[in-house]
Structure 1
Amino acid sequence: MYNITIIAGARPNFMKIAPIIHEIENAKNRGNAIDYRLVHTGQHYDKNMSGDFFEQLQIPEPHVNLECSGGSQAVQTANILIAFEKELLANPTDLVLVVGDVTSTMACALVAQKLHTEVAHVEGGIRSNDWTMPEEINRLVTDSISNYFFTTSETANDYLKKSGVKDEQIFFVGNTMIDTLLKQMPNFKKPLVWNELSLKTKEYIVMTLHRPANVDEENQLKEMISEIMKHSGNMPIVFPVHPRTAKILEGLDISHNRLHTVSPLSYLEFNFLVKNAKAVITDSGGITEEASIMNVPCMTLRDNTERPETITLGTNELVGTNPSNIAPYLNKLFSGNWKQSKGIPLWDGHTAERIIKHLLNLN
């Protein structure tokens, strides 16, 4: 029996591992000797991650929750190292599969290698080249100690090869996040705010901001929102707000009759809003991927991106963090000249199938 321990630490990780679990189940049903154990490190506490959340993704609840939430980067890393070491000693496995770039990804890869267990990194090779981002450090460390890499783009393949990874360790498979998106699209759910705000298709903009560089600098946040409001015509701006950002907004006394701050939404509700929006303004990497596949114009308020394919082939544009950059992009949006998605190779809904096929060959 080929046993795989799958690690998830935050809500987006579960979107990435859901299709992998489905494909393991399919492989088992076809008579393959493969099984998995799902470990939730508990890195991010999320009240939306109830039983309904797992039901929506059609995956079982994790076999264990290590409950390592809270604390600084160092404290959280240390807690995950300690808790996952105990977990892996109690439940040995053939392979630890980590996804994305959260602290859990790096910490669990480290524990696995020190216990002589192979590591596979889903989304290996992604780089922003911005070492101020904790995620970039997590990616660099994880990739330096992984045995196998399941990549989302040729750009990621090139980064890995330049760092000395051998061709036979790299598997270009696509993006499991898009597997989940395409599977769940028919299930997208109209959120309550749709009727409460009398929203209409393609007549509003969705905004998400969570990166410290944007939300912790009070003047920066105020200027950004001011520029967005000034150049967005009569469009309502729907802003699902992280609790930390909500506190900062309250202190800044930012209010505008077209700016609607709402509580964080479920995956199915949020993507309903994105799919029907005129555009998305964000500083999130994952949302740029989803917007590109749904062909929704996307503006990224960052100075770099680890997902360049969303710019070259998708609907994303890198606006930067200078508030004065925002107006030209909004003007372009309203002039009707925004680029169309060209389709991104292997982002086709079959990534997890390719991953499990490779894993079965490795065994």
Structure 2
Amino acid sequence: MKILTVVGARPQFMKAAAVSNVIRQKHKEILVHTGQHYDGNMSKVFFDELKIPKPDYNLGVGSGNHGKQTGTMLIKLEEIYEKEKPDIVLVYGDTNSTLAGALCASKLLIPVAHVEAGLRSFNMTMPEEQNRILTDHISKYLFVPTTTAEKNLNNEGIKKGVYNVGDVMYDSVLRISKLAKENSKILEKFDLENNKYILTTIHRAENTNDPKRLKNIVEALNESGKRIMLPLHPRTHKYIEDYGLAFSDNIKIIEPVGPIDMIALEMHACKIVTDSGGVQKEAFFMHKPCITMRDETEWVETVENGWNIIVGTNKDKIIHGINNFNPTNKQEEIFGDGTAAEKILDILDC
């Protein structure tokens, strides 16, 4: 069987690290990198550190508005699909790369396998929500990470081809955590002590593109007075400069880090403050309190289990979460057992 996998962004690289390794034990995989994330710290380092196979194709699409980016991917992917003639196209998550990979395959009548299907934020203004819904409705295999995701699909009339395999990100984080313990020196590099700092990430367009929302976030982090480590996304850095914002001395700005150092930072933080979907889950895996700077989340299980609070970009709520959110209840095992990749391959083999 020939499986063509489409990736393009950080979370997809993390998931491919788990799944591609399993696929290649039995089948031929063609790996296509769209180039959606192209900065070295957002792309190459993931392939190097996680030993992901070198992409067979790199489309080099880069940044751009949604129409241009997705359209360019469609054009280039169609040429590759027609040349390679894969039996299945596998896509991850909810990016423009996900939608382009799935839509191009569907048009050519190639079965689509969607890993991390069924997630819903119920906010259709989010590009990610549009991408994941459209991808789910044209996929033959829908690999959901949780029972909530399965219920979401059922409510939309999607019942055939749905498989609850657990979360491949959990597979990957288990593996990377071991590498981080053995190899990461980032705490020594920045003179960090275990549980003595807060890790923060800011990248979501709804926050970075809105001057008021981004201003509230920056002021909340400044006024918290806590020691904060902030690997700053290049786009966020640009908007902060454009809006004339500045961070105070309690915040250490660093370049985006690779997956091993990022997991190490998460493992040793006392809390995590983020607007990322993936980092919310990683915080849960690490048993770290998570303060989510969004108005909703697709990972509702982390909230229901009491380890994640949604604060939007209200300055007072962000500060209150940083100072007072300290969950102590035991987490439920809701993301599988760390063997999602093997389960996916078993189903595709049937």
Query: Fold match, TM over 0.5?
Result: yes
Q: Which moved more, 1:342-351 or 1:236-245?
A: 342-351
Give, in angstroms, the shift of residue 187 of structure 1: 1.0
Give, in angstroms, the shift of residue 45 of structure 1: 1.1
Is 1:85 matched up with 2:78?
yes
Name the aligned partner's letter for residue 319 of structure 2.
Answer: A
Name the aligned partner's letter for residue 46 of structure 2.
Answer: F
- 2:262 aligns to what SS in structure 1? helix
Is 1:164 matched up with 2:164?
no
Is the 2:6–2:32 contact (alpha carbons within 8 Å) kept by the matching residues of 1? yes
Out of 58, 61, 73, the position equivalent to 1:65 is 58
CA distance in 2, matches of 1:198, 1:12: 28
Is the 1:314–1:343 contact (alpha carbons within 8 Å) kept by the matching residues of 2? no
Give, in angstroms, the shift of residue 141 of structure 1: 0.9
TM-score between the two structures when normalised by the length of structure 1: 0.90
Name the aligned partner's letter for residue 64 of structure 1.
Answer: Y
Give, in angstroms, the shift of residue 174 of structure 1: 0.8
CA distance in 2, matches of 1:151, 1:123: 5
Structure 2 residue aligned with 1:31: none
Name the aligned partner's letter for residue 271 of structure 1.
Answer: I
Structure 2 residue aligned with 1:328: 320
Deviation per residue, 1:116-169 (Å, 9 max, x gap)? 111111011101111111111101111111111000111111111111112x41
Is the 1:190–1:273 contact (alpha carbons within 8 Å) kept by the matching residues of 2? no
Is the 2:216–2:314 contact (alpha carbons within 8 Å) kept by the matching residues of 1? no
Change (3 A) 1:45 1:284: same
Name the aligned partner's letter for residue 184 of structure 2.
Answer: K
Is 1:14 matched up with 2:13?
yes
Deviation per residue, 1:198-230 (Å, 9 max, x gap)? 211101001111122322333432332222333
Give, in angstroms, the shift of residue 349 of structure 1: 1.5
Is 1:258 matched up with 2:250?
yes
TM-score between the two structures when normalised by the length of structure 2: 0.93
Give, in angstroms, the shift of residue 324 of structure 1: 2.3
Out of 336, 339, 349, the position equivalent to 1:350 is 339
Change (3 A) 1:341 1:87: farther
RMSD (CA atoms): 1.8
Deviation per residue, 1:171-197 (Å, 9 max, x gap)? 0001111111101111114355x3454
Q: Which moved more, 1:210-219 or 1:64-73?
A: 210-219
Is 1:319 matched up with 2:319?
no
Is the 1:242–1:263 contact (alpha carbons within 8 Å) kept by the matching residues of 2? yes
Greater Cα radius of gyration, structure 1 or 2: 1
Unmatched 5+ stretches in structure 1: 29-33
Structure 1 residue aligned with 2:167: 175
CA distance in 2, matches of 1:49, 1:320: 25
Change (3 A) 1:133 1:162: same
Name the aligned partner's letter for residue 275 of structure 1.
Answer: M
Deviation per residue, 1:71-118 (Å, 9 max, x gap)? 210001110110000000001011111110010111111111111111
Is 1:107 matched up with 2:100?
yes
- 1:58 aligns to what SS in structure 2? coil
Name the aligned partner's letter for residue 175 of structure 1.
Answer: D
Change (3 A) 1:79 1:286: same
* Map 1:145-294 → 2, pairs under 5 A: 145-166=138-159, 168-188=160-180, 189-192=183-186, 194-195=187-188, 197-232=190-225, 235-251=226-242, 252-294=244-286
Unmatched 5+ stretches in structure 2: none
Give, in angstroms, the shift of residue 10 of structure 1: 1.2
Give, in angstroms, the shift of residue 271 of structure 1: 1.3
CA distance in 2, matches of 1:62, 1:224: 37
CA distance in 2, matches of 1:45, 1:65: 10
Is the 1:295–1:340 contact (alpha carbons within 8 Å) kept by the matching residues of 2? no
- 2:163 aligns to what SS in structure 1? strand
Is the 1:39–1:63 contact (alpha carbons within 8 Å) kept by the matching residues of 2? yes
- 2:60 aligns to what SS in structure 1? coil
